[in-house]
């Protein structure tokens, strides 16, 4: 619509004559977007972007929709025609418009208020019911699984990492093999398709076809962050180097292309770019990433070309299978058409030789691609998405034993603290760009950043991050908690321009703030021995229990929180000197294993490094015989200590069975 309507001079003149036009960046102001998306969904039965909504001066909506074509087409009014009609109605039937807007507002307010009250909700009395919710969530996902191509549902296919989070943890609880197999297969097939950037690393937004072949080429920070964690989970479970390599490649892409020099992480790279440097305004989706056969052959070493082209599905006609528009013509999206083993058999070359050919070819094409005009970089630093990325780098630092990743996580956390945190009142802002921080943070900003701080604490055991997570959680609870119905609002309610205080409960491309906040409160309750925060987490689950019962598949991250709440808390305490070889050996044993529902504490044996109300308990778990010692505890009741890494591994493996 920007190209077709907003940049058209005649249409723009009509808009400016009839209306006060406000363009919203929904990533910067999801609170505004959510209110009016809810409106359009109620009015039309569906939503999406671009989103156009007409409001009264009191900001109450009276008409809206998604895409409007520049001319009338197949019964849909053209945008200029629609503008004129709305303008005329406003002038001639103002009272009717105002009345309609008021009715719409009241309906929306009633919908937002229709949240199940949780007075008397008790997790202990709901255990069997909630276990059934987990089972139904798994069965619904299994029924939607594509056994041939991976993924859930039909095209377009989105990653939705919250689904992977749930399935991995469901497998860990139940040993239900298909839950693991579906997830690992989907992660492999996503990587093999064109949705993954095989040259520069990182995942595009989604696949328009069922094969993961033709992507929408935008790259989002929140996808990179969550998928790193998914591939790390897969690596912990399987030990396969493939999953480690993918996680590392994503992280290296983020470090190279999405990291501010001071340490924050940028939001995204656009899908569109220019083919011709002489015409930078003539952009086309995917131009930066696609190749004609001639372009690829020109960049490749002649001796490697045949094998490389076959491995990545590059043809003269273009590999546009699944392209619904037919716009790819003779261009190719790189995807793994052949595995290394298949290419080895087809070309009768050793596997290691094929691997070297692929690596040389990728380097050559990446070098050639660097000469093209890059897609636009969205250099906003969003607090919520930085929180997700801090989690990814922190977890990777622990699981992969990579100090560079811990450094990246710390720098990003310090960036948020320095630029987006008001130490005086303890609150966060949402967005930083070009030296300016703006907009009070929303629930998801607090929840995702707190999660990142908890993961950062468990990666480096710097208690300042745990202390900040605690103080931000207290502020979060004050700002967003619903005292009437329990659970969390998306916003604080302090902005008078936001006419509805919404509660997003579904886990989509990003998990909902409420799902993550509840999980954080459980972790903090386990670490700090704060039962009141456990009760808040359980009440949050209770506030959405009706939706969980009817549509658990819509809330996979909340299902993760349910699983956490149902199981007894497990604390793993390592008593030892930070950085000492014996301490690191113990921590490595823990980090290499997939252990959902645990927290890790380091007792350095000095005052001030242990957290909260449980400090006395942790300080009593001291090193034995002067060596780093591990304690595996369940709800603060511990097994016999050990200073032998092999014995610790055996204890953890036995507990996981």
The 10s digit of each residue's pLDDT in 111-144 is 766 554 444 455 555 767 788 899 999 999 999 9
Distance in angstroms (rounded) separating the CA atoms of residues 545 and 548: 5
Q: How many CB atoms lie within 10 A of CB 414?
A: 14
Q: What is the pLDDT of residue 121?
A: 53
Residue 128 burial (10 A CB sphere; 0-12, 13-18, 19+): exposed
Q: What is the pLDDT of residue 611?
A: 66
pLDDT in tens, 482-535: 998 899 999 998 988 888 888 999 999 999 999 999 999 999 999 999 999 999
Say what the pLDDT of residue 120 is. 47
Burial 56-81 (b: 16+ CB within 10 A, else e): beebbbbbbbeebeeeeeeeebbbbe
Burial class (CB in 10 A: 0-12, 13-18, 19+), 309: buried
Candidate from 38-47, 75-84, 223-232, 387-396 with smallest mean pLDDT? 38-47
pLDDT, tens only, 247-285: 999 999 999 999 999 999 999 999 998 887 778 778 888
Q: Using CA atoms, how far apart are residues 218 and 564, in angstroms rounded to an integer?
A: 34
337 within 8 A of 313, measured Cβ to Cβ: yes
In contact, 404 and 341? CB cutoff 8 Å: no
d(CA 350, CA 232): 29
Question: Scanning the structure block, which residue is given the tokens 């999980």?
Answer: 519
| Pairwise CA distance, residues 522 & 501, whole Å | 25
Give per-residue pLDDT as tens, 182-199. Answer: 999 999 999 999 999 999
Contact 371, 329 (CB under 8 A): no
Question: Cβ atoms within 10 A of the Cβ of 324, count?
Answer: 11
427, β-bridge pairs: 422
Neighbours of 237 (CB within 10 A): 17
CB atoms within 10 A of CB 407: 14
Q: What is the DSSP letter of 279?
A: -
- Percentage of the chain beyond pLDDT 70 is 95
CB 481 within 8 A of CB 423: no
* H/E segment holding residue 381: strand 381-382
pLDDT at 92 over 80: yes
Query: Comparing 2-113 with 124-271+378-567, is the CATH topology the same?
Result: no
Q: What SS3 class is residue 215?
A: strand
Q: How many C-beta atoms lie closer than 10 Å to residue 121's C-beta?
A: 18
The model's confidence at residue 174, banded by pLDDT at 50, 70 and 90, is very high
DSSP H stretches of helix in 239-339: 241-257, 293-299, 302-311
**How does residue 159 score in pLDDT terms, banded at 50, 70 and 90?**
very high
Distance between CA atoms of residues 267 and 222, nearest Å:
8
User: pTM score, two decimals?
Assistant: 0.93
β strands within 513-626, DSSP E: 570-575, 598-603
Examine the pLDDT at 37 and tell me if it is beyond 70. Answer: yes
The dihedrals phi and psi of 602, each to the nearest 5 degrees, come to -105, 120
472 pLDDT more than 80? yes
Domain spans, the chain: 2-113, 124-271+378-567, 289-371, 571-656
> Nearest CA to 330 among 292, 368, 286?
292
> Per residue in 416-454, pLDDT tens?
999 999 999 999 999 999 999 999 999 999 999 999 999
Architecture of domain 571-656 in CATH?
3-Layer(aba) Sandwich (3.40)
Cis check: omega of the bond before 50, within 30 degrees of 0: yes
Domain 2-113 has CATH 3.40.30.10: yes
Over residues 632-639, mean pLDDT: 92
Q: Give the pLDDT score at 119.
A: 45
User: What is the spatial distance between Cα 490 and Cα 504, in angstroms, rounded to a whole number?
Assistant: 7
Report the distance separating Cα 434 and Cα 428, nearest Å. 18
Return the CATH class of domain 124-271+378-567.
mainly alpha
Q: Spell 143-171 as b/e; 16+ CB within 10 A means b.
A: eebbeebbbbeebbbbbbbbbbbbbbbbb
Average of per-residue pLDDT values in the chain:
92
Q: Does position 636 have pLDDT exceeding 70, yes or no?
A: yes
Cα separation values, 364 from 170, 305, 360, Å: 42, 11, 6
Average pLDDT of the segment spanning 579-593: 96
Q: Distance between CA 292 and CA 295 in Å, rounded?
A: 5
Closest to 392 in 3D by CA, of 413, 377, 378: 413
| H or E segment and range at residue 430 | strand 427-433
């Amino acid at each position: 619509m920007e190209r077709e309507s907003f940049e058209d001079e005649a249409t723009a003149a009509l808009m400016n004559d009839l209306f006060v036009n406000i363009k919203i960046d929904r990533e910067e102001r999801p609170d505004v977007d959510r209110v009016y998306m809810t409106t359009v969904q109620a009015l039309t039965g569906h939503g999406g972007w671009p989103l156009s909504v007409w409001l009264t001066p009191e900001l109450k909506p009276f008409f809206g929709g998604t895409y409007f074509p520049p001319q009338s087409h197949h019964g849909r009014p053209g945008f200029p025609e629609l503008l004129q009609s709305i303008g005329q109605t406003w002038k001639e039937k103002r009272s009717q418009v105002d009345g309609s807007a008021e009715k719409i507002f009241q309906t929306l307010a009633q919908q937002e208020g229709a949240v199940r009250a949780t007075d008397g909700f008790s997790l202990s009395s709901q255990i069997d019911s909630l276990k059934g919710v987990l089972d139904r969530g798994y069965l619904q996902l299994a029924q939607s699984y594509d056994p041939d191509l991976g993924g859930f549902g039909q095209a377009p296919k989105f990653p939705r990492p919250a689904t992977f989070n749930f399935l991995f943890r469901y497998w860990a609880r139940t040993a239900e093999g298909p839950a693991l197999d579906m997830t690992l297969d989907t992660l492999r097939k996503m990587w093999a398709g064109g949705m993954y950037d095989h040259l520069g690393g990182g995942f595009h937004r989604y696949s328009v076809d069922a094969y993961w072949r033709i992507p929408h080429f935008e790259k989002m920070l929140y996808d990179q962050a969550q998928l790193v964690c998914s591939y790390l989970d897969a690596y912990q479970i399987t030990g396969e180097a493939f999953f480690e390599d993918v996680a590392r490649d994503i992280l290296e892409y983020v470090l190279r292309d999405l990291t501010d020099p001071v340490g924050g992480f940028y939001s995204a790279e656009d899908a569109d770019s220019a083919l011709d440097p002489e015409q930078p305004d003539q952009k086309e989706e995917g131009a930066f990433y696609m190749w004609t056969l001639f372009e690829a052959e020109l960049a490749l070493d002649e001796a490697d070309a045949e094998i490389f082209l076959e491995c990545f599905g590059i043809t003269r006609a273009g590999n546009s299978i699944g392209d619904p528009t037919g716009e790819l013509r003779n261009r190719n999206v790189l995807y793994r058409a052949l595995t290394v083993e298949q290419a080895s058999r087809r070309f009768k070359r050793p596997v290691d030789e094929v691997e070297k050919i692929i690596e040389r070819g990728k380097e050559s094409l990446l070098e050639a691609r660097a000469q093209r005009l890059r897609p636009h970089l969205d250099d906003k630093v969003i607090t919520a998405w930085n929180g997700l990325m801090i989690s990814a780098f922190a977890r990777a630092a622990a699981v992969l034993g990579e100090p560079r990743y811990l450094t990246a996580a710390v720098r990003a956390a310090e960036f948020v603290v320095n630029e987006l945190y008001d130490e005086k009142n303890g609150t966060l802002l949402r967005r930083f760009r070009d030296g300016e921080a703006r907009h009070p943070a929303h629930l998801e900003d607090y929840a995702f950043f707190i999660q990142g701080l908890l993961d950062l604490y468990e990666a480096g055991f710097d208690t300042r991050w745990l202390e900040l997570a605690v103080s931000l959680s207290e502020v979060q609870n004050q700002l967003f908690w619903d005292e009437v119905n329990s659970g969390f609002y998306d916003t604080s309610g302090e902005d008078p321009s936001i006419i509805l205080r919404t509660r997003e409960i579904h886990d989509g491309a990003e998990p909902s703030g409420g799902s993550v906040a509840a999980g954080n409160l459980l972790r903090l309750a386990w670490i700090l021995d704060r039962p009141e925060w456990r009760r808040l987490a359980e009440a949050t689950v209770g506030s959405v229990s009706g939706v969980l019962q009817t549509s658990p598949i819509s809330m996979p991250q909340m299902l993760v929180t349910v699983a956490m709440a149902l199981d007894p808390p497990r604390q793993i305490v390592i008593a030892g000197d930070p950085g000492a070889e014996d301490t690191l050996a113990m921590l490595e044993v823990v980090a290499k294993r997939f252990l959902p529902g645990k927290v890790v504490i380091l007792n350095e044996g000095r005052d001030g490094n242990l957290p909260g109300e449980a400090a006395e308990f942790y300080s009593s778990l001291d090193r034995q015989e002067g060596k780093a010692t591990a304690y595996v505890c369940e709800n603060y009741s511990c097994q016999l200590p050990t200073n032998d890494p092999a014995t610790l591994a055996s204890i953890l493996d036995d507990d996981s069975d």
